[in-house]
Structure 1
Amino acid sequence: MNIQSLENFKRELNQIKEYLKHIQYVNDLTAYAIIDTDNGQIKELLNRLKEHDRGFRTDKRIFEYKASIISLYGLLEKYVEIWIKEYLDSLSKVVPEYNQVDEKIRINHFELSLKLINTITTRESAKYQHITKEEVLKKLNECIVNPSEYQINTDAFVLLSGNLKHNKIVDLFKDLNLDLNNELLKNEELNNEIGLTPERISTIGKDILYNKINDLVERRNQIAHGSENVETIKSISELEPYIQFLEKYCQAIFQALFEQFIKQESIHTFQKIEKVIKIFKNEILAFEIEKYTIKVKDMLIIETKEGRFYKKPILTIQLDNQSYPELAIIEKTNISISVEPKIKPNQTFYIIKK
């Protein structure tokens, strides 16, 4: 998966934050009390702004609210789709044969691809103008006749992704054979944002836990259908908790997919370190290895006892207290490598296959 897409999400969310900050600055300016010592040109400009604000204040507040809600929801839908499609694309680069892809994904791939063909054929939608039914069929066929060169119809897995309330996003993840609710429980930043321990969170209804996401979707739908209630329109400051929660929520979704991708790497392109000797200072891993060439900046995959997966670059390599940028091992040898902390004895470690 592409970590840059997470940075793109953060950048676009920050644009909305800056937009709302700009609005607040303008609001502060219109509230400024003009004094006699102010420059004449400044007085004229401020008076013009104040006069316009008096007549436009309510409509301006409604427009700002609509623009903010639509923009925030747009980010949610856009990046959930991007990340699901990125994950599936990444699988075809890591899992060598189509029949080694998770069985549930393969079953859903066939059924959802047929639905995608039907959608392309029967509806005119700009969303699917970049693909044809022939391309969808070709990918399905390649999965059967040329399984080592397969491609997944990723658009099929986000076919019904509109109105993305939390339960709808959970359903999209089910097609990937992933329990999103369970994955979100593992995310400390999101748990901290909710303000409850994972144990307490697991006992509460998900509509309550992720109410800000569901409320955001409802507000967007009201705007889209022209049924928003002026009395329920939120001010700029009242939108800040929604933005903060959306950021943590979307980052947790990306993290869940990214960790699952690393898990697939550990299965298909990495190999387990079978004999760990010892771990020092939570950052040095001593282990036995043979017939292997290891380099600084090679990646180490860490699997925690809770089933989470991380990747860390190797920072140093040592043999007999001497450091090496690269080390070719022929026979069984004990070496040590260092990574950023923390690593623990109850974890499982993988190095890339060579």
Structure 2
Amino acid sequence: MSEVEISINTLKEEQRSCFEEFLKEERTCRQEITAYEKKIENWSVAVKSNPKLPTAPTVKTKPPDKDLPAEVRALEAFLQKTGGPYGGWDQYDHQAFLKVWTKHSGRPAYRKEAKLYLPGKTVEEIEQHEDWHQELIYLQDRKREAIQRWKAGKHRERQTRIQIQEETEEAERKEKEAWGQALQHRTEEEKREVARRLEEWREEKKRKEEQEEKQRLAEEIQNRRWEKEERRRQLEVKLTIEEQLRQKREEEEEQKRRKKEEEQREMEERRREATKGIKRFNERDLHKVEAKLHERQLREKEEEERQNRITVKLKEKVDGRVSRDPSRLTRPTKGWQERMKHIGPSGGGPELQMFHRAVPTWRQGL
């Protein structure tokens, strides 16, 4: 009898410890669910909010939570990679795009009206933002489905813990009944029966625990395979994107190199043309200078010959014999004589001044 009491007490202590662990896990799960729900509500408020003043998009980088579902991590990685909840646009432009896109239910006709609301965006940028928005909606739907599955799994676990707790309470109740019966009868047969029933209960409990453990291991293996396959797929996508980016960078570098070589060839050609032009202009200027110099020399020579001719003529005039007649200076001119014919011999009127021609320099003093 003492062995049965010791076994029952040991079982009670084990069950109490298990119940306390289950209660701790349940509180932790509830806290996690509350945190995730608040997080989802905050995301929804951030998307639906429409402030009057536009704010610049901010991207917060944080290490991914390994306990989150893959769809949630995929959405967070997508938002971090593409510029936050507004796809790299400011909040005002994104809200205007959502307004027009929702109005037309995503039909292509919305683009003309969106261009009026977004004059600073090109049609290509609007189409790219539309692709980003559709990808965001798809990832958000996957995230909601993953959260629903996660909640359902947690609910099943909670129901399983409650069922285990009920089974344990039922087992304790049965043990109490068996113990009461043992105390009432006090017979060896009953003791053996109680011990046998207790052993059967232990074996049944052990078998259930083993079955649950196998099921848990199978689920864990399946989850690990699924996570491994998801990581492999993400790695393939990452490698593909990196390869595309590498090829794009190589093409851009090749284009830059070709453009630089073309610019260098054009610069060399312009330099050669400029050198030829400068040489041609220098030759033309040299010819012009030589022509002007030759012309000036000819003019100087002609001027010198003219001066020589003038000097020779002057010498011939100076050396000539000219008779001097001083009375001719006071002799009336033909014009004066004609005038005196009309005035008369007595004259009249004021006396006019008589002008004389200037004596040339070369005749002064003769």
- Please classify the TM superposition score into its range, dividing by the shorter chain length: under 0.3
* Higher fraction of helix: 2
Structure with larger Rg: 2
The two structures have a TM-score, normalised by structure 2, of: 0.23
* Higher fraction of strand: 1
The two structures have a TM-score, normalised by structure 1, of: 0.24
* Higher relative contact order (Cα pairs below 8 Å, separated by 6+ residues): 1
